[in-house]
Amino acid sequence: MDYLPLFHNLKNRPVLLVGGGEQALRKARLLTSAGARLRVVAPIIHPELAALAQSPARREYREIDLDGVQLAVAATNNSTVNACVAKDAQQRGIAVNVVDAPELCTVIFPAIVDRSPLIVAVSSGGVAPVLARLLRARLESLIPAAYGRLAQLAGRFRQEVKRTLQAPAQRRIFWEEVFQGRVAERVLAGQENEAQRLLQEKLQEKQADATGEVYLVGAGPGDVDLLTFRALRLMQQADVVLYDRLLPADILDLCRRDATRIYVGKRAAEHVVAQEQINQMLVRLAKQGKRVLRLKGGDPFIFGRGGEEIEQLAAEGIPFQIVPGITAASGCAAYAGIPLTHREHAQSVRFVTGHLKNGSCDLPWADLVSPAQTLVVYMGLGGLPFICERLIAHGRAAATPAALIEQGTTAQQRVISGTLADLPEQAARQRISAPTLLIVGEVVKLRERLAWFNPSS
């Protein structure tokens, strides 16, 4: 981050503006709209600018002009004068902005969307101001003018909400529901009295209901772009995040920044937190009034133990939502260029896990060897030699195409193709490591023509 965005309170505070032309006038309009007491210095001053200033000084700039000001702005067409203002201000520790010279600035004027008291500022750090203005224009069309009135309504009720809802988490939930629900809709429709009545009703309801909620969310197979809109919205609302081992950092970073994060990852024979403890944790946190995000890789209902977790929530009467994610089979196969079904090669697909609850790999082998079926094995790397051997022993041809996908959909994706006979030896030689997905079937042959994702290129 090149600049830390801050909002400066200039109400009734002195600001020095050096310059008297059109550029200075544009800055003056912004500064006075923010309540600044404007001190303007320039040999020639635009009449409108002079009217905005308090006792404008028609002369050259002097260092003494900086006495007592909170901010200095240099907006002349003389680079020497501008540089002098910047140097003097920085020596005094005064924030300074120089028009069209970001290298001399300690603060930058952003492009502004004004929905007071709601303010949105966009800046490129002086590198591409036209781009910032274009983005502001887009935001102007997306943010209704009534949002200012909505913010004012919230301001009138802020202290009452604080008195009524003692816990910060409760207040956060309340306001998010207000800003995304019927209260906001009534304000946008110009029905502010009705909006106020609905807000009061909602506050009374929220005071009586202190129960939290659990969001069971599938984060997909790894590529952050595969998150659903709903997943992202709930990730930004949650107070607590329970996350798994396979979640990439760029996905976890999309959760609300001040949310508490609890790692509950698992790998074969190594459980940081037992499943039963996770179930109990979800219940306990929700009963504390928190919104709890259970964030899982892939889809929570496909070998994600999501069913076990919501069973206990349902038994305890805890509200919950479920957001499906793109499961590894769909995501990894697509990124590897392997269609799971194809009219000429596979009319069905079967998902199995290579790591069962009791630690064994005792699968219904006779059901998995149909030549017109694609077999997808989750968590099968550890038992890969055994899985391939069992499939061959139960009738699947040793020459059946098979592929192992490592870290599918990510920049680290690797795909090893071979047959049931030689894939285990290839995986060992190339040191494939989890997470992986095994795909067995004639559709694997199509990868040679359909592969499109090449993260190394």
Task: Give residue limits of the domains in the chain.
Answer: 14-109, 147-208, 213-326, 332-450
CATH architecture of 14-109: 3-Layer(aba) Sandwich (3.40)
How much is the pLDDT for 171?
86
Residue 81: count of CB within 10 angstroms of its CB: 18
- Beta bridge partners, 97, equal 73
Decide if 14-109 and 213-326 have a common fold: no
Q: Which of 202, 266, 287, 445 is catalytic?
A: 266
Question: Can you give the pLDDT at residue 354?
Answer: 86
Catalytic residue among 206, 244, 290, 296: 244
pLDDT at 172: 85
Band of pLDDT at residue 356, cut at 50, 70 and 90: low
Give the SS3 label for residue 335: helix
- Is 244 annotated as catalytic? yes
Specify binding-site residues. Answer: 22-23, 43-44, 221, 297-299, 302, 327-328, 379, 408
CB atoms within 10 A of CB 145: 10
The single residue listed with the structure tokens 């923010």 is 34
Instruction: Identify whether the C-beta of residue 336 lies closer than 8 Å to the C-beta of residue 225.
Output: no
**Residue 96: is its pLDDT beyond 80?**
yes
For domain 213-326, give the CATH superfamily: Tetrapyrrole methylase, N-terminal domain (3.40.1010.10)
**H-helix or E-strand containing 392?**
helix 384-393
Whole-structure pTM over 0.75, yes or no?
A: no
Q: Are strands 348-353 and 266-267 parallel, antiparallel or unpaired?
A: unpaired
91 DSSP 8-state letter: H
Specify the pLDDT at position 273.
84
Active site residue 362: no
Q: Residue 205 pLDDT more than 90? A: no
CATH class of 332-450: alpha beta
Over residues 418-438, the mean pLDDT reads: 95
pLDDT at 414 over 90: yes
pLDDT tens-place string over residues 54-94: 889 999 999 999 999 999 999 999 999 999 999 999 999 99
Element (H, E) at 287: helix 275-287
The answer to whether the beta carbons of residues 346 and 442 sit under 8 Å apart is: yes
Give 139-181 pLDDT, tens digit per residue: 998 898 899 999 999 999 999 999 988 778 778 888 988 998 8
Mean pLDDT rounded to a whole number for the chain: 92
Q: Which of 108-122, 254-268, 329-343 shows the lowest mean pLDDT across its residues?
A: 254-268
> What is the mean predicted confidence (pLDDT) over 124-136?
90
Binding residue numbers for S-adenosyl-L-methionine: 221, 297-299, 302, 327-328, 379, 408
CA distance 286 to 211: 6
Which residues line the annotated binding site for NAD(+)? Answer: 22-23, 43-44
Closest CA to 446 of 365, 342, 358: 342
Confidence of residue 206 (pLDDT cuts 50, 70, 90): confident
